Amino acid sequence: MKKLIVFVGLLLATATYAQKYKGDSWAKVKTSGGTLTVIYYEQPGLIYKDAATGKMKGVCADILDDFTKFVQDKYGKKLTINYAGQEQIFPDFLSITQSTANILGVTNVTITDERKKILKFTPSFMSNPVVMLSHKDAPSISSVTEIATTLKDYNAKVITGSTHVKVIEKIKKENAPALKVSYANSGGEILKELSDGGKFFTILDFTEYIDATRRQLPVKRHSVNFGAAEELAFIMAKQTDWDQPWNEFLTPEYKKGVRYRKIIVDNLGANFLGILK
């Protein structure tokens, strides 16, 4: 009986997610114009609402503006971007996008084979290294092998549902079996706790570190190499048809262009260009 109740609850939750947002299909827009409905999970520098103007800003917002121009130029149809809502809990953001046709989920979602089973992705809009951060007063390390010794008095905290969960699980399994791991709903929440002197370290995207340095937060980046940068993309439900125009628009040629480079510099700074593939 309990299993049945849980199952029904999951079905109701999925139905609620699906009813929260509605958007036009690409087939409709291609024929007569229309709206691309966007939900977003805020990431400074990538996608956020400007407090002074109320306008959406960031790398993602600028790319979406370029996408509307692409649709107008190639198909002769007017496309309007509707920023329908902000989701503040990352797993909810993923679930809503997965269960709702014809909306675009916009934030720093990493492309993974596991996620490809349940979501459609646009081509990557940006590569983004993973970094290890702590409060500035924490001892410095340069390898995960030092966590069990140099940082033996520290815990770890990562964002629920992020790819960083697997990173920290691997560290715990291979290098620090006694490490205690906790979870947060957002990078902003983690950075606030670090700034308040939290005795833990975290794994976050490089863009989060840029935000921390711009705000002059008392955090430290450790010189730990996590390998190749992650590839970030926008996400869609499996039942959507919006992947077609995104595959046509978000090409390697676009990302090599002057306009794209200007978007990166304007929102993330000139230094970020050096880490892009």
What are the pLDDT digits (tens) for 207-244?
999 989 989 999 999 999 998 889 999 999 999 999 99
**Range with lowest mean pLDDT among 14-23, 65-74, 86-95, 260-269:** 14-23
- Every domain of the chain with CATH number 3.40.190.10 lies at 21-128+230-273, 130-222
Query: What whole-number percentage of the chain has pLDDT above 70?
Result: 92
- Whether the pLDDT of residue 13 is over 50: the answer is no
Tell me, what amino acid is at 149? T
Measured between alpha carbons, how far is 196 from 192 in angstroms, rounded to an integer?
Answer: 6
Q: Which residue has the higher pLDDT, 101 or 18?
A: 101
Instruction: For strands 103-110 and 181-184, give the pairing.
Output: unpaired
Helix (H, G, I), strand (E, B) or coil at 8: helix
Cα dihedral 46, 49, 50, 55, rounded to 10, equals 110
Architecture of the domain whose range is 21-128+230-273? 3-Layer(aba) Sandwich (3.40)
pLDDT band at 6 (very low <50, low <70, confident <90, very high): very low
- Report whether CATH 3.40.190.10 matches the domain 130-222: yes
Measured between alpha carbons, how far is 221 from 197 in angstroms, rounded to an integer?
Answer: 15
Q: Is the pTM higher than 0.75?
A: yes
